[in-house]
Structure 1
């Protein structure tokens, strides 16, 4: 198989050599901590093809050659963001939101030591559906800006730009958003649904690398870090969970995805079981 120094004549725009795939694995891990598994060449080919075309290159192998030849941070950012999976939806895992509404938020409001707002964090927020779902829950409970503050963070600035706009396609609002909330909190503009300011203004968004300390962002009473850890190796998962715990109040709650666990950090959290779901209370 040809390396980056050989001619790409006859190669399609989306074909990548084994050498360059390994190079991208290393670069993406260094930039984001995300593990690009073996056999995911098709994912690279699909997601990086637009960048190849944008730069007027003939192939992904040429893109890798450009990366090697330059320290262009913007190019690396574009490639890293293209490889981040941004799967999200409104009210994903509804039983978790129901427990937040009926038990966790009321409990956290009662245990506040002052009149400060509850501080909530949607970590790996992507295009904002998770953070806005929490804002809708708060609004439905009658909680105002003085009662609760919500921060959404992500490594990819491109998805944060979309989150701030709060404009969603019909397909996106069809995924998980109850029709009553669509009518109540969104307005139709052309082919998109736009979240009303009364909800959008409750959430702020900021770029953050989960591998880094989040103490300056918190401390938090409630953290959603769901379906994020699955993209990292075991060492990075533990690093992220330690950073999350250090940014939380004792007694605060952490949500993980349904298939994610705390592994060897159980001494920092106590599992709280409620029917089919499990929340983790910071010790």
Structure 2
């Protein structure tokens, strides 16, 4: 692969996926796109570049972009964002949405589904306190291939060993040969949709909680700022955005600000924290867990077409 061909692929991937590859990543392009060449019976990466330039082969274009997408994920990854969901985010969101009895959660860059299914397990475990509520969980990803795996909910022994407590495996999965399938009730709780974060996503509606973790690290600063600004418009005025540990909004957008109590959590600019629900309340938040979001006065999530009732009884 010549320098010109490599530069074309870098620009091509940047335009279509936001992936910002440095000049030192040539080995990564060669190792990941070699199998794509073999799948499409293309002799060399140079010939692949020529095909991308000269024809509109949608299948090839998708395969090139998806091959370069990093899909590293596992159940309850980094644990803290899920403890935060259980102890603070969910109780406070339920207190503010008590009149509507509906919550909307978006897992952007959901990959093979471990993140949204981790949240779904927590919601199902809390079902007695969520009786009569509608909770929409949307999982999106650029890659249609990983979304198909997420929809199937079938994982290897290695995948269920990564972060998943044994009691959750026993409770929420069934063994299928040498693999494990997450329960049908949990699969029904998540609506998976293909979505490129570089493209408009306002059609998804507004969300109370957005998880967009470990994807912005692959974008350059202008792309990060653009995505974050648009995420803010999809976040309810009193909503919560969670980013990865190595990600931040600082220096990228003024629409979102860090929450002082919880690393990795961001809220709309100009909002002040509210008192947390009393101990023993909706989900009995951990003693001492600080509140982090403002009151709900006329700040409910914008209406969106109903998806499914997942915990309502």
Cα distance in structure 2, aligned partners of 1:56 and 1:219? 43
Q: CA RMSD in A?
A: 1.7
Moved over 6 A (4+): none
Cα distance in structure 2, aligned partners of 1:182 and 1:149? 23
Cα distance in structure 2, aligned partners of 1:144 and 1:125? 26
After TM superposition, the score normalised by the length of structure 2 is 0.81
Query: Which gives a bigger RCO, structure 1 or 2 (Cα 8 Å, sep 6+)?
Result: 2
1:280 aligns with 2:234: no
Given the alignment, which residue of 198, 214, 233 partners 1:211?
198
Sort the Cα spacing of 1:199 and 1:144 in 2 relative to 1 into closer, same or farther, 3 A.
farther
Question: 1:263: which partner in 2?
Answer: 250
Q: How big is each residue's C-alpha offset from its partner over 1:225-277, in whole Å with a ceiling of 9 and x where there is no partner? A: 000100000000011001111011111000000010102356423422446x3
1:23, CA displacement in angstroms?
A: 0.9
Cα distance in structure 1, aligned partners of 2:196 and 2:41? 30
* SS of match in other structure, 2:259: strand
State how many pairs are aligned.
Answer: 267
Given the alignment, which residue of 123, 130, 135 partners 2:115?
130
* SS of match in other structure, 1:216: helix
Q: How big is each residue's C-alpha offset from its partner over 1:110-144, in whole Å with a ceiling of 9 and x where there is no partner? A: 11163242000000111111111111111122236
Q: How big is each residue's C-alpha offset from its partner over 1:176-209, in whole Å with a ceiling of 9 and x where there is no partner? A: 1111101110011012110001211110100112
* Kept after mapping to 1: 8 A contact 2:105/2:137: yes
1:24, CA displacement in angstroms?
A: 0.5
After TM superposition, the score normalised by the length of structure 1 is 0.89
1:64 aligns with 2:26: no
Question: 2:96: which partner in 1?
Answer: 111
What residue ranges of structure 1 are gaps of 5+ in the alignment? 1-15
* SS of match in other structure, 2:239: strand
